[in-house]
């Protein structure tokens, strides 16, 4: 069974990772990304529960608006319910950018990654601010499926606009700073490809714990599954990192496409790309694990 890249990983992080590894081919964990609105954080969860009677096993959160306190509060509450916490970061362009539009702007990545430049100092300031936020979850003994710099190979976010070499340098910088300097031992590092299926972007087995891909069209996405699987020489879990339409559980099982989880995107994606009847079908399928059917993951 695969092991976490961080040799100092917390006990709960190890237990969560071991659980995910052990469930491969036996089930798919259900997941839902929340809408990062000031007043509407739980709408997706209420909807799924109302049409299916269940909640997802994984809650996806996002530091997109620098809502560090709010995201951490909801992460703690979800962990307290027995759920699994996933966090991404739509990182606004350093040093002062915030939000989705900013994450799609362009930046001189060479200058950004050159020690001593103003941009480099801004980069480290941003990284350290989020590291300090994640330390609050570490102090609460909450393991996190940490999935930064997602859809890097798509070329629509600043961290992927300047090519694979600079992206890999940025990923490794973040990993090293968070793991070795900040000693964030509660993170499980999740690498999320876009659906573009481009080779040459993999940071290396020593920097990745779980690999995955995003797809917003219908289907179980066999080609994407096998593409991301071949990027690593390590037999790590493979996740349907983000999705629109929910993958058909029976077909996943029949074809052996063992995505470890799906994470449906918010608003129109859960509502308009999936009918209420289909959400009910998926969340009540015997191959799907929900919050209510999660076994005990952590032992003292």
In a domain, 238, yes or no: yes
Q: How many folded domains does the chain comprise?
A: 1
In a domain, 255, yes or no: yes
pLDDT at residue 34 tops 90: yes
SS3 54: coil
pLDDT at residue number 37: 78
Rounded Cα gap, residues 2 and 21, in angstroms: 7
pLDDT at residue number 31: 98
What would the pLDDT profile of 67-114 be if each residue is shown by its tens digit?
A: 999 999 999 999 999 999 999 999 999 999 999 999 999 999 999 999
The whole domain housing 41 covers 11-289
In a domain, 124, yes or no: yes
In a domain, 294, yes or no: no
pLDDT at residue 200 tops 90: yes
In a domain, 298, yes or no: no
In a domain, 297, yes or no: no
Please compute Rg for the chain using Cα positions: 18
In a domain, 210, yes or no: yes
In a domain, 190, yes or no: yes
- Residue 145, Cβ neighbours under 10 Å: how many? 28
- Residue 140, Cβ neighbours under 10 Å: how many? 13
- pLDDT over 70 for what percent of the chain? 99
pLDDT at residue 1 tops 90: no
Active site residues: 151, 242
**Across the chain, what does the average pLDDT equal?**
97
Question: Whose CA is closest to 246, among 227, 267, 262?
Answer: 262
Q: What pTM was estimated for this model as a whole?
A: 0.98
Backbone dihedral angles phi then psi of residue 262, each to the nearest 5 degrees: -115, 150
pLDDT at residue number 288: 98
Identify whether the C-beta of residue 44 lies closer than 8 Å to the C-beta of residue 270. Answer: yes
What CATH number is given to the structural domain containing 143?
3.20.20.80
């Amino acid at each position: 069974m695969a092991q976490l890249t961080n040799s100092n990983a917390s006990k709960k992080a190890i237990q969560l990772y071991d659980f995910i590894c052990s469930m491969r081919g036996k089930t798919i964990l259900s997941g839902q990304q929340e809408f990062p609105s000031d007043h509407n954080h739980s709408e997706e969860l209420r909807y799924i529960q109302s049409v299916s009677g269940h909640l997802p096993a994984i809650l996806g959160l996002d530091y997109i608006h620098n809502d560090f306190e709010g995201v951490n509060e909801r992460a703690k509450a979800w962990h307290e319910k027995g759920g699994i916490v996933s966090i991404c970061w739509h990182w606004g362009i350093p040093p002062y950018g915030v939000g989705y539009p900013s994450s799609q702007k362009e930046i001189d990545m060479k200058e950004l990654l050159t020690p001593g430049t103003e941009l480099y100092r801004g980069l480290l300031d941003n990284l350290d601010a989020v590291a300090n936020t994640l330390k609050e979850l570490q102090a609460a003994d909450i393991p996190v499926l940490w999935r930064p710099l997602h859809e890097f190979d798509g070329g629509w976010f600043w961290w992927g606009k300047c090519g694979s070499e600079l992206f890999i340098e940025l990923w490794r910088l973040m990993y090293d700073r968070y793991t070795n300097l900040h000693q964030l031992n509660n993170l499980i590092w999740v690498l999320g490809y876009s659906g573009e299926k481009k080779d040459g972007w993999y940071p290396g087995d020593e920097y990745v714990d779980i690999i995955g891909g995003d797809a917003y069209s219908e289907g179980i996405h066999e080609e994407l599954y096998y593409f991301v699987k071949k990027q690593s020489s390590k037999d790590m879990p493979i996740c349907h990192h983000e999705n629109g339409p929910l993958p058909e559980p029976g077909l996943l099982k029949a074809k052996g496409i063992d995505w470890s989880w799906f994470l449906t995107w918010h608003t129109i994606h859960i509502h308009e790309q999936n009918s209420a009847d289909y959400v009910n079908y998926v969340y009540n399928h015997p191959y799907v694990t929900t919050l209510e059917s999660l076994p005990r993951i952590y032992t003292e």
